[in-house]
Structure 1
Amino acid sequence: MIPKHILVIDDEQLVTESIRRLLKKQGYNVTIAESGIDAIEKVKIKESGFDLIIADIRMPEMDGIEIIKKLREIVRKPTPEILITGYASDESLKQAEELNVADYIYKPFDITEFLNLVRKNLGK
């Protein structure tokens, strides 16, 4: 079976590395993007697309909501998204719901809860 490929978007390197290690231990392929622009470039390059996108809501230049909107314009297949945040306003959560983002989770998150969200959104 081909491992699922997950795109993780967060400007905090400690967060992305922790998530990358955790997901790789579970057998997933992981690509890291440190900004919205970086994520857009990586999605354009990866012809087969990603199976899941995980993005931080609060980032400089382009927030997670904006990133999801832009990625949806270029992604070739429907891809579930999980938003992660250390702080989310009611407005950003409302926007996520309006976009029908699959899930969101607060940092710091419980590893089991996070992995359950990942599995659920990958259809496992």
Structure 2
Amino acid sequence: MAKKILVIDDEELITKSLLKLLDKEGYSTTVVRSGKEAIDKVKESNYDLIICDVRMPEMDGIDTIKEIRSYLERSNKKIIPEILITGYADIEKYEKAMDLKVADYIYKPFDIADFLEVVKRNLA
């Protein structure tokens, strides 16, 4: 059975590109455009990996990850590895991500082969 990945990003070009790339690699990929949508999806289904943009309107990636983890803990479900992606060198967001102990933190634009290696490593 294909590993399930949830992609959270408000940029349509990024979500379309990641959907195409991950589907081509054989993953079952779901795309949402906001933190709220992501939380709803996590409540509906089980995922093996979350890929989340750091900067999004309304709820940023850090808060989205916190809310998802809170829900999973309250529901006695396993924590899902998270990869945060960003196009900005924001040390404060990076430090918050490290405090959360996210699995990986990747800067856009990224090398596709390197990105897929990070995905595979976090699904192993």
- Mapped to 2, the partners of 1:86 and 1:16 lie a distance apart of 14
What is the CA–CA distance in structure 1 between the aligned matches of 2:31 and 2:18, rounded to whole Å?
9
Q: Which residue of 2 aligns with 1:96?
A: 97
| Aligned equivalents of 1:5, 1:36: Cα separation in 2 | 18
- Asked if structure 2 preserves the Cα contact closer than 8 Å seen for 1:8 and 1:33, the reply is yes
1:1-124 matches, within 5 Å, as 2-46=1-45, 49-75=46-72, 76-123=77-124
Q: TM-score w.r.t. structure 2 length?
A: 0.95
Judging by fraction of residues, say which structure has more helix: 2
Give unmatched runs, 5+ long, in structure 1. Answer: none
Letter in 2 for 1:33: V
Distance of 2:4 and 2:89 partners within structure 1: 26
State the identity as a percent. Answer: 57
Query: How big is the shift at 1:45?
Result: 1.1
Equivalences, count: 120
Cα pair 1:57 1:88 within 8 Å, conserved? no
Runs of 4+ in 1 over 2 A off after TM superposition: none
Backbone CA RMSD of aligned residues: 0.7
Q: Distance in 1 between matches of 2:89 and 2:59?
A: 15
Instruction: Tell me how far apart the structure 1 counterparts of residues 30 and 70 of structure 2 sit (CA, whole Å).
Output: 20
Q: Mind listing any 5+ residue stretches in structure 2 that lack a counterpart?
A: none
TM-score between both structures, scaled by the size of structure 1:
0.95
